[in-house]
């Protein structure tokens, strides 16, 4: 077991996160940067893997966790092995904050899918999505469920839930 803990900067943590994401999602482009405050890492991407899928990678590179029940911050260390098998104890910089954007193309593809379920055309402009309701729900696994006509949800909510729960590409 290493004798001392190495405290990694946000920039150093970002380099490790970038490498891990590239290894796990080789065809997805990510922006991985040290946060402006220097206390963590901001990760951005469009479409591709879900936030949950990315968190399975980035959670390994967090040095802090927040407990909302006790309003307290907990710091912890991790063991990090290099390519030669050497192990060191490190404290990663703060939190990893994941930000997934959805492209207009993906929204349009999703609208076509919803139109197939509903059997009717749906508005294409975002400003109209919350004024239209559809008899569809998104289950916890990200599947679209056709519901009875009386169980309608705002189209904007369905688009948001479905696109964020499902991987594109």
Could you identify the residue written with the tokens 């056709």? Answer: 146
Domain boundaries of the chain, sorted by first residue: 5-101, 104-165
Rounded to whole angstroms, what are the CA distances from 12 to 9, 16, 64? 5, 7, 16
Please state the three-class secondary structure of 50-87 as a single string.
CHHHHHHHHHHHCCEEEECCCCEEEECCEEEECCCCCE
pTM: 0.80
One digit per residue, the tens of pLDDT, for the chain of length 169 reads: 556 888 989 999 999 999 999 999 999 999 999 988 878 999 999 999 999 999 999 999 998 888 889 998 888 888 888 888 889 989 888 889 999 999 999 999 999 999 999 888 999 888 888 889 999 999 888 889 988 888 899 998 998 888 888 876 5
In the chain the first and final C-alpha atoms are separated, in Å, by 41
What per-residue confidence (pLDDT) applies to 74? 85
């Amino acid at each position: 077991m290493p004798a001392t803990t190495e405290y990694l900067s946000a920039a150093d943590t970002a380099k490790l996160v970038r490498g891990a994401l590239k290894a796990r999602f080789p065809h997805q482009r990510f922006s991985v940067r040290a946060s402006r405050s220097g206390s963590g890492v901001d990760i951005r991407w469009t479409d591709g893997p879900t936030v949950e899928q990315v968190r399975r990678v980035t959670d390994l590179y967090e040095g802090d966790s927040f407990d909302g029940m006790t309003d307290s911050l907990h710091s912890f260390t991790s063991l990090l092995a290099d390519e030669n098998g050497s192990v060191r104890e490190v404290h990663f910089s703060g939190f990893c904050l994941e930000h997934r954007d959805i492209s207009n193309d993906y929204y349009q593809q999703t609208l076509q899918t919803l139109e197939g379920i509903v059997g009717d055309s749906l508005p294409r402009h975002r400003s109209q999505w919350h004024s239209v309701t559809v008899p569809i729900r998104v289950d916890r696994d990200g599947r679209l469920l056709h519901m009875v006509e009386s169980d309608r949800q705002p189209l904007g909510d369905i688009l948001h839930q479905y696109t964020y729960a499902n991987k594109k590409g």
